[in-house]
Structures are given as C-alpha cells and as structure tokens.
Amino acid sequence: MKANERLFRISVSPHLTTEEDVKKIMWNTVISLIPPAAFGIYIFGLYSLLLIITSVFFSVLTEAIFLKARNKNWRQCFDGSAVITGILLALTLPPKFPLWGVAIGAAFAISFGKQIFGGIGQNIFNPALVGRAFLMAAFPVESTTWTAPKGVDTFTGATPLANWKFNHIMTSYKDLFLGNISGSLGETSVIAILIGGIFLLYKKYIDWRLPLSYVGTVFILGGIFWLINPHKYPDPLFHILAGGLMFGAIYMITDMVTSPITPRGRVIYGIIAGIFVILIRLFAGYPEGVMFSILLANMIRPWIDRAIKPNILGEVKK
C-alpha cells in the first residue's frame, strides 16, 4: 500500500454504536419504576408488593413458555421487558386487586399484547395496557374497587376523578401531587412519577416530545372547556395531577416500540392521545381516559409513520 492511500473498511450497519443495549435499557427502566412502586407500597401496604411480585412472576413465566414453544432461547425472558410489563400492569391496578386476577392479566398481557405479534419489538399495542384493558372488561368490579391510603379518610375510597365526575368533589392539589389519595397502585404520586421520568430523560430513553405534547394537549383542551363552563368542567391543572395522566405520559406513551419513529410524528401522536383523554374524561361514562387514549393512539401510529416520513439525504421532491 502506498503512503498516500487509505484503508477503507466496508461493513454492515449500524455504523454508530453505543454502550446501551436492549437489556440495559429495560433494567434501567425497571430502576426508574422504583419511586412510584415504593410509594404505592408505602401508602397502601405490603399487599401491594405481593401484587407486583405476582404480576412480574407470571409475566416472566408466560414469556418463557412462549419462547420455548417458539424454539427460541427461553432465557430471553430475563432481558427485563417482561419484568417491565409485569410492574406496569400491577401499578395500573387497584392496590387490593386479587392476586389470581393479576396473574391472569399478566399472562394475557404477554400472550396477546406481545408474543402473539412476534415478541419484543414487534407488538402493536402496549402489552401492559392490553392486560389492563382485559382485566377491566373481564373483572369490572375488582378493577374499580379502590382503597384509601393508610391514615387518610377519603370519600368512600373513590379516586379523585370519580369524586369529581360523579360526586362533584374536588381533591386538593397538594394531595394529588404528593399522592395521599385513592387510585391505582403506582399512579397516585405525581412527584414519585416525575422522579422516575427525570431519570429516563437523563438516560435519553424517552423523547420529551411525547409526554409534553400529550400533557400539553390535555392542559390546553381542559383549559378551554373549563373557561367555557368552570362549574361543569374541572380546571386544566386538575386534569394533569389527577388520575394516571402523568404515569401514562412518562411510562406508557413513550414506549419505544409502539410510539412513532419521527419527532414530528411523535408530537402528532401525543396530541391525538391527549384529545382522546379529554373526550373520554368529559363526555364518556368512564372517569379516566388514559388507558384507552394510548391504546387508540397505538392503533393510529402505523398511519402516522406512513404519513410523516423523513427526507432522504439528497432527495429532491417533485
């Protein structure tokens, strides 16, 4: 080789590498879930810990069974993705949900929310929300039986959204922010959820456009309806702090697999999901709309990816 010649290596993509891999991302996401999970266990009791353990166990077990049946390496069930599904499912359930019920829900989430589509990275819908929707449909009483936190005397243990929608009772912003309220196991404390969200943003595992467009849409639309009729509709800050909006904004709508691939598409995706939240909360019979809003947005996401395509380098459009 001459002195002025350079050696070029030709290799397949990716050409840019990172220390992060799927397993590391998954287990770091599990770490981010510790604050909301720990707070839920603290205010609702140790039964909540058993609920999480049961959900994780049956999620991992179902994953291992499917991988074995598909002649895959069953040890892939320990990559952390099934653990995340189990934790997320448990944190969206009432704190005293029956253990047999969460076992069924976890198995359903992995089977019909993930493995039926081909496994990790192939699912169309968020698996944890698939399991939650199934439990809501199959066991509506158990799915809407709420427990008041220890030492807190709340109105029949109902959630703040249910108290507002059916009884016209408002919950203080302080209790909503700190989490001294009835609700799903991991969705009550906004501050605990934000701690986990800040960690995910720091690790660059989630795109800030998704939670911002989602929460921002709810805030703007909620504010418009509140200005139209403040006696009928709650103010926009209540919409943000109450229910599972913040939990869904940080952990559900930001799912790497089920969210759009382009920045502009993610903003549109968040706006669509936010519109669904307001429509369901204000005009439907169900007080909460986060779960359904994200599942509906999951359905629309393939069309968003087809409509919003990045420009090819050097491309000249006609």
130-155 pLDDT, tens digit per residue, is 999 999 999 999 998 888 887 665 44
Handedness of CA 157, 162, 167, 173 (dihedral sign): positive
Note the pLDDT of residue 155. Answer: 47
Q: Rounded to a whole number, what is the largest CA-CA distance in the chain? A: 84
pLDDT in tens, the chain (318 residues): 555 556 666 676 666 666 777 889 999 999 999 999 999 999 999 999 999 999 999 999 999 999 999 898 888 888 889 999 999 999 999 999 999 999 999 999 999 999 999 888 889 999 999 999 999 999 999 998 888 887 665 444 578 888 888 877 888 889 899 988 888 999 999 999 999 999 999 999 999 999 999 999 999 999 999 999 998 899 999 999 998 999 999 999 999 999 999 999 999 999 999 999 999 999 988 889 999 999 999 999 999 999 887 777 666 666
Distances (CA, A) of 206 to 86, 175, 244: 20, 27, 18
- At residue 297, the pLDDT reads 96
pLDDT for residue 53: 97
The residue written with tokens 């819908």 in the block is: 125
The pLDDT value given to residue 269:
97
> Residue 84 has what pLDDT?
96
Give the pLDDT score at 153. 57
Burial class (CB in 10 A: 0-12, 13-18, 19+), 47: middle
Q: How far apart are CA 85 and CA 106, in angstroms?
A: 8
pTM for this prediction:
0.90
Task: Return the CATH architecture of domain 22-307.
Answer: Orthogonal Bundle (1.10)
- SS3 (DSSP) at 303: helix
Q: Counting Cβ atoms within 10 Å, is residue 188 exposed (0-12), middle (13-18) or buried (19+)? A: buried
Copy the structure tokens of residue 115: 């493995």
